């Protein structure tokens, strides 16, 4: 009888744990965010998406490894008259300054993706400031435009990173729609994933050197426009002041 009682208690504990974790699992599934942080207290959060009723969305490209498909992406964006946001690592910007200048000259927005593409939650405040200062300066030297958006590498962050970025006047940005193009999905799989999860105020994550990203882009744009969405750079999607961020990382206009 004692064995049965202990076993029943163990089952009850497992069920309680499953119920407790269910909201986090559902959030990760429906938002497609790669790094969602949960704790018993309030956290400093980047912007995952934006509360909007006008069907505006943003598509973004992380630039860290290679540039083979970047010009094809730029050609498709130009053909569709879409302006996007590119997050560039400093060493990428320094390796491909001509490509970076083409991105900026085409009217696209450029943010920093750090200097070294490290796990920045492991850095001190001074190291974070050095990464952001150095990478912004490298990008601005090529584009001639101020950098005020930042995407943490690997989607990795903590309170210190977010608070430091905001203190420097740089808005940290995540995403709520992950194309998973870095997994070398087919063009159709990329289109389907993005079309399924995008909603008004969504931030879409792609990569400039994804194997099938450029190939998928025209269909992505067409499918989302057919649903009534309008593309804008992230800087035109987000709110800069008088906003709150809910537990899912959704930016909401209005003060607390």
Q: Give kind and range of the element (H or E) at residue 239.
A: none
For the record, the structure tokens of 1 come out as 């009888």
Close Cβ partners of 19 (under 8 Å, ≥ 6 residues apart): none
Q: Write out pLDDT tens, residues 117-133.
A: 999 999 999 999 999 99
For β-strands 56-63 and 250-253, DSSP reports them as unpaired
Q: Give kind and range of the element (H or E) at residue 61.
A: strand 56-63
Which CATH architecture best describes the domain 49-239? Alpha-Beta Barrel (3.20)
Q: Write out pLDDT tens, residues 17-75.
A: 444 444 444 333 333 333 333 333 479 999 999 999 999 999 999 999 999 999 999 99
- Taking the model in full, what pTM does it have? 0.84
Q: Write out pLDDT tens, residues 194-253.
A: 999 999 999 999 999 999 999 999 999 999 999 999 999 999 999 999 999 999 999 999
Catalytic residue positions?
62, 207
In the chain, where the domains are located: 1-31, 49-239
């Amino acid at each position: 009888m004692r064995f049965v009682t202990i076993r029943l208690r163990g089952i009850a504990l497992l069920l309680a744990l499953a119920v407790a974790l269910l909201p986090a699992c559902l959030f990760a599934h429906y938002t497609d965010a790669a790094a969602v942080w949960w704790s018993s207290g309030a956290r400093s959060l980047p912007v995952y998406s934006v509360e909007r009723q006008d069907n505006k969305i943003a598509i973004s490209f992380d630039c860290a490894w290679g540039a083979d498909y970047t010009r094809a992406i730029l050609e498709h964006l130009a053909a569709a008259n879409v302006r996007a946001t590119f997050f560039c690592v400093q060493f990428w910007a320094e390796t491909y300054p001509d490509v970076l200048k083409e991105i900026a000259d085409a009217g696209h927005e450029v943010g920093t993706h750090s200097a070294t593409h490290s796990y920045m939650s492991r850095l001190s405040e001074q190291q974070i400031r050095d990464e952001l200062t150095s990478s912004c300066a490298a990008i601005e030297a090529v584009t001639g435009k101020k950098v005020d958006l930042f995407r943490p590498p690997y989607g990795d962050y903590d309170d210190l990173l977010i608070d430091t970025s905001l203190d420097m006047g740089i808005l940290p940005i995540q995403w709520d729609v992950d194309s998973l193009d870095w997994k070398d999905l087919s063009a159709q799989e990329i289109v389907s994933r993005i079309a399924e999860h995008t909603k008004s105020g969504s931030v879409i994550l792609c990569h400039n050197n994804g194997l099938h990203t450029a190939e998928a882009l025209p269909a992505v744009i067409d499918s989302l426009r057919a649903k009534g969405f309008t593309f804008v750079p992230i800087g035109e999607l987000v709110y800069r002041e008088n906003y709150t961020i809910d537990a899912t990382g959704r930016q909401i206009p209005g003060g607390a």
